């Protein structure tokens, strides 16, 4: 849009929408505690190394965000995303030497990425839980994703910080806090935004307070668009970081075109394009220099697509750090 | 409404809505297999006993149903219900000697009702799984609710049939099949309808085929009301059964009034009224002869509200069987 005739530019519109989005959200619950955890984590994990570069830190987002339809939430909009991709990827990032800030949902246990070692450790945890108290059991039952991350915590010396996310407003508030805490890392910061973030939401002030009554006839809803945070992440929150977003479609005919549009529009370094039904077997990594198909190795039992995907990303991030 | 002026009566409206609901649904996937399982289960579990009465069978529904927003479902409306109530209640019904047909969701692991014995058995399962193959692990990871039920299967001689439900159309189709299979039990049949069934849905023919695009601006949705199946359950599907429905509200001021309305409108034998935030501590059982508060025994560690609730229900069902 042409600014000279009084209309707002695309950028101004985006910033205005993002400001309005955050202004209308209720204050982040436990926001101070989250900031404290981030500060402590960054202190432990990003001291400059011998060549002056910081240790690498990746922010992995996973699972679907939810959109409450009532302030005292009974109903909400959710999506297909189980968080499996993010959890599997976290394991590979850790093995590659990254510290990980892992934003995750309460886990819907679908096919989890669980290595043999992790299963052994979980079983040991159960045996201990049986002989101590129910509380240990419940901790696992409530947060298996964080538990798996927690097991790596034991192995990898405290280089995973797990942050529970659920509703869209809170998830974006946490993402902003995380990104701002990673700003000083410069190019050593990586964002792997695998979460299926809600595209539509009900602004807090428009939301019914109590459970919507079903006796009042059909339900008409108008959902506002959630502004894309990718622009402000790239421009303001962590401008030097290497950024990877995801694009999922059900219609293969539009998938690559949409991924390419996202790459350009939001100035991403990579967009991982995947189709709903085949996403666990193959993805296409869309970059400015071309598209790279990545496949699960079907000849190897237990192989997943995240293994080659994270190897590729780590290589590209290394190249980026060298040249930035 | 007065039938003589051409308007439909409440009953006719309800039946027409229910017919339209089922007619518009796609055919139930694995419908023939579900029928076969039900027939086999009923054959094993409802032979007449010495006094000519059938063994008692309860249909327990649990968890929230989902409402897809696209035919190739990416987004759906879900609700707060974790399925805990239904799972806990199943355990008590089994202990009371009932056979259980357990309709459940893929489990969102919140605070599960897991007895010490069950935990021991789960741990044994893990140990076995570690030494055999990943598939055993994944089976547990995918279906912990059915796994817990499965453990009772081992203990209780095959008197739990677990049926996975998820989307609203499929859930109601399965409920209908189950109810029709229980019709012959007469008053020995019990329906414990703890599931949080969606009140609103998008009829299949109105649903977008592919993922709704977010670039097209705000999203306007009109959701139709899901017709209440309780009327047709009481009148046609299993008219002699003892029927218990649930009513949840976030506003305590309207809870009892709504529960009472449901009791009368749908001719339920009991309505279990509960408020969102206190539902794990207390419920009020609304009946034609008065309201009965039921509380969790807070002096006993690990006590839940389902324990006294199921005891009360079993007593009332016994009295019903004697007088019917």
Mapping DSSP to helix (H, G, I), strand (E, B) and coil, where does residue A114 land?
A: coil
Taking the C-alpha atoms of residue B161 and residue B174, their distance in angstroms, rounded to an integer, is 13
Distance from CA of A183 to the nearest CA of B (A): 29
Residue A126, φ and ψ in degrees, nearest 5 = -60, -45
Contact A126 B126 (CB under 8 A): yes
B123, B214, B301 ranked by CB distance to A199: nearest = B214
Closest to B162 in 3D by CA, of B142, B186, B134: B142
A109, A116, A138 ranked by CB distance to B141: nearest = A109
ipTM higher than threshold 0.90: no
pLDDT tens string B297-308: 999 888 999 999
Contact B72 A129 (CB under 8 A): no
- Pair of tokens at residue B19: 């017919």
Taking the C-alpha atoms of residue A91 and residue A109, their distance in angstroms, rounded to an integer, is 17
pLDDT for B152 equals: 46
The pTM of the whole model exceeds 0.90? no
pLDDT interval class at B150 (50, 70, 90): very low
Q: Which of A125, A207, A221, A259 to mutate to test the interface with B (most CBs of B within 10 A)?
A: A221
- Cβ-Cβ contacts under 8 Å for B233 (sequence gap 6 or more): B175, B179, B191, B241, B243
Residue B133 has pLDDT above 60, yes or no: no
Q: Which residues of B touch A107 (CB under 8 A)?
A: 109
Distance from CA of A248 to the nearest CA of B (A): 9
Distance from CA of A115 to the nearest CA of B (A): 9
**Lowest mean pLDDT, pick from A1-15, B93-107, B187-201:** A1-15
Residues A90-93: contacts with CB within 8 Å, 24+ apart?
Answer: A90/A60, A90/A62, A90/A149, A90/A152, A90/A160, A91/A115, A91/A148, A91/A152, A92/A306, A92/A307, A92/A310, A92/A311, A93/A58, A93/A60, A93/A192, A93/A310, A93/A314
What is the rounded average pLDDT of the residues B117-137?
49
Helix H, strand E, coil C: the string for A204-235 is HHHCECCCCCHHHCCEEEEEEECCCCHHHHHH
Q: What is the DSSP string of A274-310?
A: EETTTTTTEEEEEETTEEEEEE--TTSTT--SHHHHH
pLDDT for A107 equals: 52
Helix or strand holding residue B319 (H, E): helix B306-323
Mapping DSSP to helix (H, G, I), strand (E, B) and coil, where does residue B19 land?
A: helix
Taking the C-alpha atoms of residue A126 and residue B121, their distance in angstroms, rounded to an integer, is 11
Distance from CA of B75 to the nearest CA of A (A): 4
When the pLDDT of each residue in chain B is averaged and rounded to a whole number, the result is 82
Residue B147 has pLDDT above 80, yes or no: no
What is the rounded average pLDDT of the residues B157-161?
72
Q: Which segments of chain A have a pLDDT < 70? A: 1-10, 12-13, 46-53, 106-158
- Pair of tokens at residue B254: 């309207």
Contact B225 A210 (CB under 8 A): no
Contact A222 B220 (CB under 8 A): yes
Q: What is the DSSP string of B198-265?
A: -SEE--GGGSBSSPPPGGG-SEEEEEEEPPPSHHHIIIII-TTSEEEEEEEES-HHHHHHHHHHHHHH
Distances (CA, A) of A44 to A38, A157, A314: 10, 10, 21
The interaxial angle of helices B134-142 and B116-131, nearest 10 deg, is 150
Q: Which residues of A touch B218 (CB under 8 A)?
A: 200, 222-225
pLDDT for B117 equals: 44
Contact A107 B111 (CB under 8 A): no
**Lowest mean pLDDT, pick from A19-28, A106-115, B20-29, B314-323:** A106-115
pLDDT for B126 equals: 56
pLDDT for B15 equals: 86
Residue B47 has pLDDT above 90, yes or no: no
Q: What is the DSSP string of A23-43?
A: HHSPPPTTHHHHHHHHHHHHH
Could you tell me how many CB contacts below 8 A there are between chain A and chain B? 163
Count Cβ neighbours within 10 Å for each residue of A95-119 and write b for 16 or more, e otherwise.
Answer: ebebbbbbbbbbbbbeebbbeeebb
Contact B111 A138 (CB under 8 A): yes
pLDDT tens string B220-240: 888 999 999 999 999 999 999
If you search the block for the tokens 């239904």, which residue do you land on? Answer: B86
Distance from the Cα of residue A187 to its chain's centroid: 19
The DSSP output letter for A266 is: T
Label the pairing between strands B189-193 and B242-249.
parallel
pLDDT tens string B165-184: 999 999 999 999 999 999 99
Closest to B76 in 3D by CA, of B84, B87, B60, B64: B64
């Amino acid at each position: 849009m042409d600014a000279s005739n009084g209309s707002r530019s695309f950028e101004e519109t985006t910033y205005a929408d993002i400001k309005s989005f955050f202004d209308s959200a209720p204050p982040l619950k436990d926001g101070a505690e989250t900031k404290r955890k981030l500060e402590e984590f960054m202190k432990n994990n990003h001291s400059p190394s011998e060549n002056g570069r910081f240790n690498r830190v990746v922010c992995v987002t996973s699972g679907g965000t939810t959109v409450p339809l009532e302030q005292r939430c009974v109903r909400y909009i959710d999506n297909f995303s189980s968080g499996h991709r993010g959890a599997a990827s976290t394991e590979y990032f850790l093995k590659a030497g990254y510290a990980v800030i892992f934003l995750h949902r309460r886990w819907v246990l679908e096919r989890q990425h669980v290595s043999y070692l992790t299963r052994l450790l979980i079983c040991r945890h159960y045996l201990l839980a049986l002989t101590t108290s129910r509380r240990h059991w419940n901790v696992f039952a409530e947060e298996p994703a964080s538990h798996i991350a927690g097991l790596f915590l034991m192995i990898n010396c405290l280089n995973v910080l797990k942050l529970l996310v659920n509703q869209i407003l809170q998830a974006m508030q946490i993402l902003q806090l995380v990104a701002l805490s990673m700003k000083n890392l410069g190019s050593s910061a990586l964002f792997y935004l695998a979460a299926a973030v809600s595209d539509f939401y009900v602004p807090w002030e428009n939301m019914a307070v109590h459970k919507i009554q079903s006796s009042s006839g059909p339900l008409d809803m108008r959902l506002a668009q959630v502004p894309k945070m990718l622009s402000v992440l790239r421009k303001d929150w962590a401008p030097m970081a290497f950024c990877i977003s995801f694009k999922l479609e059900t219609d293969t005919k539009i998938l690559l075109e949409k991924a390419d549009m996202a790459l350009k529009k939001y100035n991403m370094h990579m967009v991982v394009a995947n189709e709903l039904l085949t996403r666990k077997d193959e993805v296409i990594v869309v970059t400015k220099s071309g598209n790279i198909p990545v496949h699960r190795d079907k000849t190897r039992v237990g192989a997943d697509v995240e293994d080659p995907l994270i190897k590729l990303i780590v290589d590209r991030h290394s190249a980026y750090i060298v040249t930035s």
